[in-house]
Amino acid sequence: MEFQLLPEIKSPKDLRGYSDEQLLQLCAEIREALCNVVSNRTAHFASNLGVVELCVALHLVYDFAKDRLIWDTGHQIYPHKLVTGRFSEFESIRNKGGLMGYPNPEESPYDLFMTGHAGASVSTVLGLKTADDLLFDDGRKSVAVIGDGALPSGVVFEAMNNAAGLDKDLLVILNDNKMGICPRVGGLASYLDKARVAPFYDGLKKDISWILNKVPVVGEPVEHMLGQFKDSVKSFLHGGMLFEEMGFRYIGPVDGHDLASLVKYLRMVKDVKGPVLLHVFTEKGHGFEPACEDPVKFHSPAPFERTGENEIVPVSKGGTPAYTDVVSDAIYDAMDQDRRVTVLTAAMCAGNKLDRIRNDFPERFFDTGICEGHAVAFAAGMAKSGVRPIVDIYSTFLQRSFDHIFQEVALQNLPVTFCMDRAGLCGPDGPTHHGVFDISYMRMFPNMTVAAPGDAADVQPMVDFALKHDGPVGIRYPKTGAETVQRELAPVEHGRAEVYCSGNDGAIFAYGAMFPMCVRVAEQLRDTGIHLTVVNARFAKPLDEQTLLPIIEQSPFVITVEENALQGGFGSALLEAVNKQRIRSDHIHCQGVPDQFVEHGQRGELLSDLGLNEKGIIALVQDLSATEAANDSVLPFEQPSATVEH
């Protein structure tokens, strides 16, 4: 398809000069641009296809140069980027130095928050609206678009409760596509399903009022009868009673792919007083048949080539199995051997590769939806009753359950195993998704064991260890292929490191998936005459002081390598232990993620920028070795003999 309209759009105001036919053409061009991006890189796809008409309608009705718009979770931001003048840069999306795959205020004034976690949109829009009312008197509007998958998040209902109490003029658009990343689950999902088969309620109000006012009423006022009848009609005819009872005016359902209808209803609700919920039905993957048929697969698909309008051929990828797959296999084996083992995830069954577990152990698999705090507290209850729960959640999302890890798990010293997927740098997903804080926030809790497999061979024994340990254990692993270091594997024991090789010229302590890279560094440097000790640390808490501290005392220099924030990470734990034992520490060099948010890019690119690759570590070792050699070659300054007088 030749792009005719998208290249001409400099701001959303340009849309208002288009005819109805041109607007439909614009929607088609947006979908074509989305297909082009996904043909050469992994990107969020089906969710963006589903909001094309909604995005165009919003920018037609509102002026978001002044009005406020928050896209909840943010991965459906691509159409918004295209209609806010970023088409010329769109091919760079999710590439290092290019557009971010989520909203980014540094890219455009139309992106207000860098949103990457679900559920906060209603809260932030309420805050924007409240501040605007205090500071301005220009009728600014506020809109939050939230998906049905994010709706069960507790913070959403906290915000809606507050918004109704403040009686703010606020529009919440419920983008209902029956999906999160996976199909939605729970009682609220069933409630929304009922709305899909219910007739449209709001449009009946005038007819009902007219009919009732024509009917003679004996014994009570028409207004009272009308109110009772209206409530009965609402509860019988549509699924919006929940929102009405919460203080929101419910309107819908509306076809989210009928552009004219969307524009009509957005204009209708624009000036309604008080909080409004507009219920919009969309289809995830709309306009691209393969994505409609399998929206889970096409949420963020691997690159593919199109051989026809709706025909694709995947671009094959080689390499080692991903850590996610290796951990999933280990969990499956543990569940197969011990009926006490359960798995809980928060709407990430597909992302955590738990489909086989869900299918083969349905009675022991629990998807809580996007409710990470509940998942952790739920697991604590299981553990208290003798079950061995595994909470399998991305590192970045587990942060949402921080208080429950503290109160319900660590404080009670319950045997809950946390499998923290995507720990470390998550590449093109960027700063909202990099899991670089889990060592720091898990390590601070008493009773918590903090561990990381050094390679694929470590995974199964580490999972088995965690499930036998009488206390909480956190296991982190990155979004990358799981390499295997050939060696005679040391058993995984609580708080014990594994010494891979010994050398007198320096030491590298590798934490987690940095281990294979550090082994390669040592092998390359051995050929240059530099012999290093390499340790697969395995545990950040408890630290193996018995093994590590003597090496520190004997080595000319020590380098710690981790894919985590340096503040509170593995290197920090080591320095704390050294300080406690009053051991020299000025020769310890901690390599990790500095005190900054890391932008998006391929994981290898980001690791290179941070010096966390072979080239960076080799250069550091060579520099330290040269400094050490220079110091050894300088004769100590001879002091004159002291005369002691009595």
* Interatomic CA distance for residues 398 and 401, integer angstroms: 6
Q: For 70-79, 302-311, 608-617, which range has the lowest pLDDT when averaged over its residues? A: 302-311
* Interatomic CA distance for residues 352 and 375, integer angstroms: 15
- Strand ordering across the sheet containing 142-147: 68-71, 142-147, 170-176, 275-281, 249-255
* Interatomic CA distance for residues 174 and 112, integer angstroms: 19
280 is written with which tokens? 């919009």
pLDDT at residue 205, rounded to an integer? 45
Phi, psi of 175 (to 5 degrees): -85, 95
Q: What is the DSSP letter of 512?
A: G
Q: Please name which of 148, 149, 194 lies closest in space to residue 173, comparing C-alpha atoms.
A: 148
* Interatomic CA distance for residues 600 and 430, integer angstroms: 4
pLDDT at residue 290, rounded to an integer? 79
pLDDT at residue 368, rounded to an integer? 93
- Which residues is 172 bridged to in the sheet? 144, 277
The beta strand positions in 452-549, using DSSP E, are 473-476, 498-501, 507-510, 533-536, 539-541
473 is written with which tokens? 């254990």
pLDDT at residue 641, rounded to an integer? 38
pLDDT at residue 150, rounded to an integer? 87
* Interatomic CA distance for residues 341 and 354, integer angstroms: 14
Q: Report, at the CATH architecture level, how domain 498-629 is classified.
A: 3-Layer(aba) Sandwich (3.40)
pLDDT at residue 223, rounded to an integer? 54
* Interatomic CA distance for residues 533 and 558, integer angstroms: 9
* Interatomic CA distance for residues 49 and 32, integer angstroms: 10
* Interatomic CA distance for residues 512 and 498, integer angstroms: 12
* Interatomic CA distance for residues 492 and 459, integer angstroms: 10
Cβ atoms of 288 and 49 within 8 Å: the answer is yes
Q: For 193-197, 214-218, 467-471, 632-636, which range has the lowest pLDDT when averaged over its residues? A: 214-218
pLDDT at residue 530, rounded to an integer? 97
The 3 state secondary structure assigned to 611-626 is CCCHHHHHHHHHHHHH
pLDDT mean over 517-525: 98
pLDDT at residue 203, rounded to an integer? 41
Phi, psi of 536 (to 5 degrees): -90, 100
Q: For 83-97, 101-115, 229-243, 325-339, which range has the lowest pLDDT when averaged over its residues? A: 229-243
Percent of the chain's residues with pLDDT above 90: 74
**pLDDT higher than 80, residue 444:** yes
Cβ atoms of 574 and 555 within 8 Å: the answer is no
pLDDT mean over 508-516: 98
Per residue in 182-191, pLDDT tens? 565 666 666 6
**pLDDT higher than 70, residue 222:** no
Categorize the per-residue pLDDT at 308 as very low, low, confident or very high, splitting at 50, 70 and 90: low
* Number of neighbouring beta carbons within 10 Å of residue 505: 19
pLDDT mean over 429-434: 94
Q: Please name which of 413, 434, 415 lies closest in space to residue 423, comparing C-alpha atoms.
A: 434
52 is written with which tokens? 């094309």
**pLDDT higher than 60, residue 229:** no
**pLDDT higher than 60, residue 343:** yes
**CB within 8 Å of 184: residues ≥ 6 apart:** 148, 149, 178, 192, 347, 369
pLDDT at residue 554, rounded to an integer? 96
Higher pLDDT, 324 or 207: 324
Per residue in 253-297, pLDDT tens? 899 999 999 999 999 999 999 999 999 999 988 988 878 888 777
Average pLDDT, the chain: 88
Per residue in 346-369, pLDDT tens? 999 999 999 999 999 999 999 999
Topology given in CATH for the domain delimited by 6-201+238-293: Rossmann fold (3.40.50)
pLDDT at residue 294, rounded to an integer? 81
pLDDT at residue 45, rounded to an integer? 87
pLDDT mean over 29-42: 88
pLDDT at residue 38, rounded to an integer? 85
Q: Which CATH class is domain 323-476?
A: alpha beta
Cβ atoms of 416 and 375 within 8 Å: the answer is no
* Interatomic CA distance for residues 417 and 424, integer angstroms: 19
**CB within 8 Å of 11: residues ≥ 6 apart:** 65, 84, 85
pLDDT at residue 215, rounded to an integer? 44
**pLDDT higher than 70, residue 379:** yes
Residue tagged 């720990």 (tokens): 423
Categorize the per-residue pLDDT at 153 as very low, low, confident or very high, splitting at 50, 70 and 90: confident
**CB within 8 Å of 646: residues ≥ 6 apart:** none
Q: How many helices (H) and strands (E) does the chain have?
A: 24, 19
For residue 571, give the amino acid letter: G
For residue 264, give the amino acid letter: K
Residue ranges of domains in the chain: 6-201+238-293, 202-237, 323-476, 498-629
Categorize the per-residue pLDDT at 206 as very low, low, confident or very high, splitting at 50, 70 and 90: very low
pLDDT at residue 212, rounded to an integer? 39
620 is written with which tokens? 């550091």
Categorize the per-residue pLDDT at 149 as very low, low, confident or very high, splitting at 50, 70 and 90: confident
CB-side neighbour CA atoms (13 Å) of 243: 26
Helix (H) / strand (E) containing 419: strand 417-421
* Interatomic CA distance for residues 288 and 284, integer angstroms: 10
pLDDT at residue 513, rounded to an integer? 97
* Interatomic CA distance for residues 513 and 536, integer angstroms: 9
Q: Counting Cβ atoms within 10 Å, is residue 462 exposed (0-12), middle (13-18) or buried (19+)?
A: buried
Q: Do domains 6-201+238-293 and 498-629 have the same CATH topology?
A: yes
* Interatomic CA distance for residues 547 and 552, integer angstroms: 9
C-alpha triplet 510, 325, 480: angle, nearest 5°: 45
Strands 311-314 and 304-308: antiparallel
Q: Please name which of 56, 83, 69 lies closest in space to residue 115, comparing C-alpha atoms.
A: 69
Strand, helix or coil at 593?
strand
Categorize the per-residue pLDDT at 54 as very low, low, confident or very high, splitting at 50, 70 and 90: very high
Higher pLDDT, 307 or 2: 2
Categorize the per-residue pLDDT at 646 as very low, low, confident or very high, splitting at 50, 70 and 90: very low
Categorize the per-residue pLDDT at 640 as very low, low, confident or very high, splitting at 50, 70 and 90: very low
CA quadruple 19, 25, 31, 34: dihedral positive or negative?
A: negative
Q: What is the DSSP letter of 596?
A: S
Whole-prediction pTM: 0.86
CA quadruple 40, 41, 46, 50: dihedral positive or negative?
A: negative
For residue 404, give the amino acid letter: H
**pLDDT higher than 60, residue 441:** yes
Q: For 38-42, 70-74, 264-268, which range has the lowest pLDDT when averaged over its residues? A: 38-42
88 is written with which tokens? 């010329």
Q: Which positions are annotated as active-site residues?
A: 284, 372, 400
**pLDDT higher than 50, residue 614:** yes
* Interatomic CA distance for residues 216 and 172, integer angstroms: 39
- Which residues is 508 bridged to in the sheet? 534, 559
pLDDT at residue 5, rounded to an integer? 96
Cβ atoms of 250 and 243 within 8 Å: the answer is yes
**pLDDT higher than 80, residue 635:** no
